[in-house]
Amino acid sequence: MPKFSQASFSKLATCHQDLQVLFYEVIKHFDCTILEGYRNKEDQEKAFSAGNTQLHWPHGKHNRQPSMAVDVAPYPIDWKNTKRMYWFSGFVMGIAQKLKDEGKMTHGVRYGGDWDGDKEIDDQNFNDLVHFELIE
Ligand SMILES: [Zn+2]
């Protein structure tokens, strides 16, 4: 069974309990790596400059403590393989729905490849294919 590296474990620990519950379930079945949980001001502005977010500090869900967002990629990371990211996200969203239905998570989850949650992926202005956030 896959498990998180110490680096992934530490990043996930900065996230809301629901995201921890979710990805501790996901990792049992689908190997993945936690890229980022909480982002401080410097990290958020770096992400903005790199075009990885459209939000300045402190408006991102990564800027809360605990973080209401987490960036996760299927392992091993291959940034060109977006199909695999979508494949992974479908798996994550299915597990998230199940955990919410079972009362093990209190929030729903929004994916950065389907911001409006309509299950269409071609109606997006901005894709963030590794981003999962809690809906408030
Ligand atoms: Zn993100």
Q: Are 135 and 108 in contact (CB under 8 A)?
A: yes
Over residues 51-97, the pLDDT tens digits come to 999 999 999 999 999 999 999 999 999 999 999 999 999 999 999 99
pTM of the model as a whole: 0.96
DSSP state of 131: E
Over residues 102-120, the pLDDT tens digits come to 999 999 999 999 999 999 9
d(CA 105, ligand 1 centre) in Å: 19
d(CA 44, ligand 1 centre) in Å: 10
Q: Band the pLDDT of 46: cuts 50, 70, 90.
A: very high
Residue 1: pLDDT above 90?
no
Nearest alpha-carbon partner for 65 in 88, 85, 40: 40
| Res 66: pLDDT | 98
Beta bridge partners of 70: 132
How many helices (DSSP H) and strands (DSSP E) are in the chain? 4, 4
d(CA 56, ligand 1 centre) in Å: 13
